[in-house]
Amino acid sequence: MRLDGRRALVTGAGRGIGLAAAAALASAGAHVTLVARTGSEITQAAADIRAEGGQASALVLDVTELIAVRAAVDVTDPFDILVNNAGTNRPRTFLEVTEDDYDTISNLNQKAAYFVAQAVARRMAATGRGGSIIHVSSQMGHVGGQNRTVYCMTKHGIEGLTKAMAIDLAPYGIRVNSIGPTFVDTPLTRPFFTNPAFRDDVLRRIKLGRLATVEDLMGAVVLLAGDAAAMITGTALMVDGGWTAE
């Protein structure tokens, strides 16, 4: 489960799941590069990881700017691990979704995820060392959800991408998997739970009876990143408290 000597890139790392993933990888010995658009946020996050004895650096980058992504990946040493975490959502009913909603969600959740992974995988393949790519997907990549048509569409797409990438990249020793969290208590999701009916419905569907925390995902990230998962590729690791079991 150790990752000493390996380099990891984590997108959307300024807060929530991304920050927890970065901290987990650093605690396992990896050097972690945290990526986000907000410089002050990831600079502080990287400093906090270093203060705990980890190795971390900050990279201010908008992952939807694909030319900038490729340039940033190409000028640094190749990464051994990618946690493709940056994502967003705008919950609306199908009849209310706007073209801007569609473009904003799909450009980040799907297009950016695709080309970040491609840029990192190209460098991984060139080294001949292999590597691990982890897409942070969702339980909504396996089921439907009310007011989440575009989000579900993008996450179902990530699940298909995971399987197809795993096939294409296996000859290079690059493993590709996804993690499917349930609702996690993060700054992104917290406003949703001000609605008591929504919160009650979510807790009813999560069989373990509670929201996930970012810490609940850390073990899954470290597992898939390292040699303990050497024969795991093209699969989805559900961290959903049993939501999709029914």
Angle at the Cα of 152 (from 144 to 89), degrees rounded to 5? Answer: 125
Token pair, residue 181, equals 């969290």
Token pair, residue 101, equals 């909603």
- Residue pair 240/45 in contact (Cβ under 8 Å)? The answer is no
Catalytic residue flag (residue 102): no
Question: Distance between CA atoms of 36 and 185, rounded to whole angstroms?
Answer: 19
- Residue pair 42/22 in contact (Cβ under 8 Å)? The answer is no
Reported in sequence order, the residue ranges of 72-137 that DSSP labels E, i.e. its strands, are 81-84, 131-136
Order of all β-strands in the sheet with 131-136: 55-60, 31-36, 7-11, 81-84, 131-136, 174-181, 236-239
Among 102, 114, 151, 172, which one carries the catalytic annotation?
Answer: 151
The pairing of strands 31-36 and 131-136 is: unpaired
Residues acting as catalytic residues:
151
